[in-house]
Structure 1
Amino acid sequence: MERIVSPPRAELKNLRQSLTDGEWMVFNFFDRYLDPAWEIYVQPHLNGLRPDFVLLNPAVGIAVFEVKDWNFNAMSYFIETKGNSAPKLLANDGSHTFLVNDNPIEQLFRYKREVFELYCPRLQQRAGFALVTAGVIFTNADTDHIRKLFQPSMQYRAMLEYPQYTPVSGRDALNSGDISIVFPESKRKYSRYMNTELAKDLRNWLVEPDFSKAQRLPLELDANQRFLVNSRTKTGYRRVRGAAGSGKSLVLGARAAELVGQGKKVLVVTFNITLLHYLMDIAVRWPNKTGNTRKQVTWLNFHMWCRRVCEDAGFEKEYRDLWDENESTELVLSEGLPNLVEKALTNKPELITFFDAILVDEGQDFLPKWWNLLRKVCVKDGEMLLVADVTQDIYETAGNWTDDAMTGAGFSGPWSELPISYRLPQDALKQASLFAEHFLPGKDTILPMRQQDALDLEPTYLRWVQTDAASAIEICLKETLSFFTEDTFSDMAISDTTFLCSTREQGFAYVKAIGAKGIKSVHTFDPDDRESRRQKVGFYMGDARVKATTLHSFKGWESRILVVLIDGKPNRKNLALIYAGLTRLKRSPLGSCMTVVCTIPELAEYGKGWAGIHS
């Protein structure tokens, strides 16, 4: 039989976090000496942990291994014991002694405990520890030396009684090919506590997430998109509009990378903080041999750019006073802040950073005066790009972009159009279009269009649950877990799951509920505004945990597995927000899942059209 390796062997050299020489040595060791029934998972997203290797055998159990390439010639290590507290690992470099935070024995203890506590509905909890091995391999030291060094730590954690479940080994064991030293339990043929159903539960935690796979793939653009990436207009001004999933952000991210490759100084601006990580991840997938897109592009949301301008120009006090003296954030953003930035740009232009190109995503969220402020820091004969979809006008700002405003913003001629939606599975595209036609009619509404030669090959699971507000969070949790307990599709990673809702209160309730199941999440729901902003800055799809954020913050993003809670009043603003949520699903040849939990009675009839969509 052929061994399962995730990511596949051919992709290991392309991982975002490259394998070290020692990790390659260990991978090749496992691949050579383990029975083929043992599956190898490299750097898996394990409920917030990122161990180096996890091994799984459906008949035997699971093993987590950490690899240490420590140079014992450069550093002297020793263990310090004090009272009843856990022994500490210290090191001396010849001039001073310091604490080593990542004591590998403590890591093993944590790995074993957290694997045991994973949400696996079919795991017999009393027998769980017998299924789990947690080991560490030192590639630059011998086994006897390592075991002697860590003996106090292992004794403290009661690992010496059953050493086969916490093996510690060194380079001599690797060089000799002795798998019984490195991984004693690998010789076991079966365990009465392990079975194929439990292995399925565990694989949901181990298979490589869809987002990680995508990061290794170059961007695929059609001829129209590629033209927009590789060209500029005579004036340097271009506006692009398209439906959800039509590749607007792909074009913007690729154009940013292309301009960096030409030696240009580039600024990318969004309204939402969270969208910046997504755009960075797009940009690095565009081939660029002469620049570092992630570092060389300036990535800012509009508010942060304003703050930076004020600070650079010496208006920091005025900036702070502006927020202290006004209770209305909306008034500050629409009037006070633009006026202060205008003053800074006028009075201190020599202190302000100028750019060769300025690219704005989700342009329907911007006011024309914001755009015109950005124009002031674009060099003469520079480039300005605005991409937009007015159907997703969740802040009701798109109406400010009249024909006169467009002319005053430097635009002439028609929009560049991106009519085809590539992101959405065909069933989801149909339902999103029906929603927009019925609830968001208007001359500016842009319906997603399917690719003419597209085949309905991607499996899709769509579900609509109509309920009341009191039951909504409980149902959202139930629907999330059902994706995995019911084996909806193959190779579904729990860390690909994204939960979206309208308010922090709902989001925090969901995070608590799923956390009670032992499932960790990265979210943006802290009640403190400053902490919530920090969470948004750190929110990205490559995180090893379940994702949870607001519909506002996820606009522009995409996910293979979605649970969307929609509530509130059925006004146009909220309906535009709901439409944005319905269009976040990403197609996948392995299948895509979206469940909508709705508490709005007026949408119940529409929701009936989702019944039985499981292709």
Structure 2
Amino acid sequence: MAKMFPDCLRPDVKSPAERLLYKAFQEQLSDDFTVFHEVSWQVPDLRSGAKDGEADFIIACPNLGILVLEVKGGSIRYENTTDKWYSNDNSIKDPFQQGCDNKNSLLRLLKEQPYWSQRWIPIGHAVAFPDVEVAKAFPDVEADSRLCLNAPLDIVLDYTHLNDLSNWVQAVMNYYRGNNERQTDLDVESVEKLVTLLSRWFNLKQVLGIEIHKDKQESKRLSEKQFRLLNLLGRQRRVAISGCAGSGKTLLAVEKARCLSEQGFTVLLTSYNKALAQFWRKSLGRNRNLKLYHFHGLCKKLASDAGLDPGSNPNIDEDLLWNQIYPELLLKSAKKLNWHVDAVIVDEGQDFRKNWWLPLKCLLNDPDDGIFYVFYDDNQNLYCPGWQPPFEQAPFPLDENWRNTKKIHSYVLQFYNQHYPITPLGSEGRNVEIVDYPSGDNFHLQKIIGSILNRLVFDEGVSTKDIVILTTTRKQALQNKVLGQFRVKADPDVSAQEILCNTIHQFKGLESPVVILVETDLRDFSNLRNWLYVGTSRARNHLIILRPDAPF
């Protein structure tokens, strides 16, 4: 069987004559023959501009040559008085002139290639009328004559040749070769070069930087479902909203806080995460009705303003100070300062301990009926085992993932305990990239990260501000290091092309187009599954995991 390009007939080929010949060539020609179907090309012309070329079929065979074949189906008619050709009464171009022009165009294309430029190329053209029998259509035409001056019967394929195509093709190729015995005939290498030229394939992947830019235009929009939930929340005063990472909890929390503040309400928007509160302040700007604090930052500020801050006391246990003393001081300080708000909105509520809810509730002007919303994901619970939302009412679930690509979402699910199905709405995205490295070998790890950073920025067009390196606990191992051509820091200078490196827990509630997750310490991680869920779900467009020898 002949080698066919493409290797199967495209379903959009409408010409019955071409469909017939494709199958016939495939079955009747030996594997010495290579057949190209529906080939198009372009040849530059300095005088008249670029010229297009095309061929219904191009047939090549070592030691025989190249044949450009023009195919016309149906009944064929030529009127010499008008010099017009017709197929089924439809006017068509002169098929012989068309074949000749495309042969010459292909020859010019080949001569542009270094391999062919100094070679003699045995090439010819022919025309196929597979639905007619020339002898019957032209009974007065002798066997050795022509249909027209440019149409000798030697280069015409008709119905009578369909069962003997191998001999017909060889005869036409020999017709063009004549008695030329030059040693530069088409050989096997030449046919391979022809395949490379006429049937090349490529895969142009979208540059990651462009993916990220497009995604940013969409990611700030609330879905119709989220808008409906916001409207519903407008009629509720005490609500818990649950959702997986990427379901839009933070976006909804911020939007609700903004809407309430615009209506004249004073609003506290708070989270356990200091970095998240800093992000809110940068993105929301100044608004006297909006109070943006991480929880312990608020506790410490009010305690200090009220003159109740215990300060640095080495005799006080650190855990006791932050988990018990400061929350109690928040209650006392707010009362002393008369510091109250109309609404409290908590993001990342799963990080809040049970004894913190009362001080927050008492910050409300109306503690019993004031507006109080809690957004949470119990799968991201790193600090409070057995956590429950502070309200008796059933939570409102968010069951769509708007952040991650489908590939990242699928990977993250292995660390997620599902209470209800989650629908990923992102693009398909890239495969999660996993790179193994020797456990404990920081030098090798830093070298790998440097190589990845160089590739992302220089080859993939990713901005340094769109890349985050996350570790479990030991960010110090990478801090202020130059990896590749970039310095990584916990407080990077974006204008200096520095890259953020932080711990997973300090990046909770935030996201980045590209996340490089570096597992630097797997010891004593009883809730490693939760850490990996939080870390992997931070990535919007691409997730890279550098994995030590010890498996997750």
Q: Do the two structures share a fold, i.e. TM-score over 0.5?
A: yes
Q: Which residue of 1 aligns with 2:466?
A: 496
Distance 1:279 1:486, change over 3 A: closer
- Is the Cα–Cα contact under 8 Å of residues 241 and 418 in structure 1 kept in the other structure? yes
The separation in 2 between residues aligned to 1:227 and 1:572, in whole angstroms, is 39
Secondary structure in structure 2 of the residue aligned to 1:460: coil
Deviations 1:418-440 (A, max 9, x none): 0111111111111111233xxxx
Q: 1:466 aligns with which of 430, 433, 436?
A: 436
Q: 1:519 aligns with which of 480, 486, 506?
A: 486
Alignment of 1:212-291 (within 5 A): 214=216, 219-232=220-233, 236-280=237-281, 284=284
User: TM-score, normalized by length of structure 1?
Assistant: 0.50
Q: 2:396 aligns with which of 391, 413, 416?
A: 416
- Is the Cα–Cα contact under 8 Å of residues 230 and 255 in structure 1 kept in the other structure? no
Does residue 449 (structure 1) correspond to residue 442 (structure 2)? The answer is no
Does residue 388 (structure 1) correspond to residue 341 (structure 2)? The answer is no
The alpha-carbon deviation at position 513 of structure 1 amounts to 3.6
Deviations 1:219-246 (A, max 9, x none): 3112332133344365611111101111
- Is the Cα–Cα contact under 8 Å of residues 568 and 600 in structure 1 kept in the other structure? no
Q: 2:315 aligns with which of 308, 325, 332?
A: 325
Secondary structure in structure 2 of the residue aligned to 1:269: strand
The separation in 1 between residues aligned to 2:362 and 2:403, in whole angstroms, is 35
Alignment of 1:522-533 (within 5 A): 522-523=489-490
One-letter identity of the residue aligned with 1:252: A
The alpha-carbon deviation at position 371 of structure 1 amounts to 1.8
Distance 1:543 1:246, change over 3 A: farther
Alignment of 1:579-594 (within 5 A): 579-587=533-541, 592=542, 594=543
The separation in 1 between residues aligned to 2:270 and 2:487, in whole angstroms, is 31
The alpha-carbon deviation at position 542 of structure 1 amounts to 9.1
The separation in 1 between residues aligned to 2:298 and 2:262, in whole angstroms, is 23
One-letter identity of the residue aligned with 2:405: P
One-letter identity of the residue aligned with 1:520: R
Alignment of 1:51-450 (within 5 A): 214=216, 219-232=220-233, 236-280=237-281, 284=284, 296-316=289-309, 319-320=310-311, 323-326=313-316, 328-345=317-334, 349-380=335-366, 381-395=369-383, 397-401=384-388, 406=389, 409=390, 411-436=391-416, 441=417, 445-446=418-419, 449-450=422-423
Distance 1:208 1:450, change over 3 A: closer
Distance 1:391 1:489, change over 3 A: farther
The alpha-carbon deviation at position 300 of structure 1 amounts to 0.8
The alpha-carbon deviation at position 260 of structure 1 amounts to 1.5
Q: 1:555 aligns with which of 478, 498, 508?
A: 508
Distance 1:488 1:458, change over 3 A: farther
Q: Which residue of 1 aligns with 2:530?
A: 576
The separation in 2 between residues aligned to 1:357 and 1:211, in whole angstroms, is 35
Secondary structure in structure 1 of the residue aligned to 2:479: helix
One-letter identity of the residue aligned with 1:303: H
The alpha-carbon deviation at position 541 of structure 1 amounts to 8.1
The separation in 2 between residues aligned to 1:399 and 1:459, in whole angstroms, is 35
Distance 1:419 1:263, change over 3 A: same
The alpha-carbon deviation at position 582 of structure 1 amounts to 0.9
Q: Which residue of 1 aligns with 2:24?
A: none
The alpha-carbon deviation at position 269 of structure 1 amounts to 1.0
The separation in 2 between residues aligned to 1:243 and 1:541, in whole angstroms, is 30
The separation in 1 between residues aligned to 2:380 and 2:448, in whole angstroms, is 29
The alpha-carbon deviation at position 559 of structure 1 amounts to 1.2
- Larger Rg belongs to: 2
Q: Which structure has more RCO (C-alpha within 8 Å, separation ≥ 6)?
A: 1
- Is the Cα–Cα contact under 8 Å of residues 209 and 495 in structure 1 kept in the other structure? no
The separation in 1 between residues aligned to 2:494 and 2:242, in whole angstroms, is 25
Deviations 1:372-394 (A, max 9, x none): 21110111243111111111111
One-letter identity of the residue aligned with 1:469: S
Distance 1:448 1:490, change over 3 A: farther
Alignment of 1:593-612 (within 5 A): 594-599=543-548, 601-603=550-552
One-letter identity of the residue aligned with 2:538: R
Q: Which residue of 1 aligns with 2:498?
A: 545
Query: Which one has the bigger strand percentage?
Result: 2
The alpha-carbon deviation at position 461 of structure 1 amounts to 4.2
One-letter identity of the residue aligned with 1:255: K
Aligned length: 343
The separation in 2 between residues aligned to 1:476 and 1:423, in whole angstroms, is 28
- Is the Cα–Cα contact under 8 Å of residues 472 and 599 in structure 1 kept in the other structure? no
The separation in 2 between residues aligned to 1:250 and 1:572, in whole angstroms, is 31
The separation in 2 between residues aligned to 1:299 and 1:595, in whole angstroms, is 32
Query: Which one has the bigger helix percentage?
Result: 1
The separation in 1 between residues aligned to 2:456 and 2:507, in whole angstroms, is 27
Identity of aligned residues (%): 21
Secondary structure in structure 1 of the residue aligned to 2:527: helix
One-letter identity of the residue aligned with 1:229: L
- Is the Cα–Cα contact under 8 Å of residues 473 and 509 in structure 1 kept in the other structure? no
The separation in 1 between residues aligned to 2:253 and 2:531, in whole angstroms, is 22
Q: Which residue of 2 aligns with 1:124?
A: none
Q: What's the Cα RMSD here?
A: 3.3
The separation in 2 between residues aligned to 1:315 and 1:487, in whole angstroms, is 49
The separation in 2 between residues aligned to 1:582 and 1:519, in whole angstroms, is 23
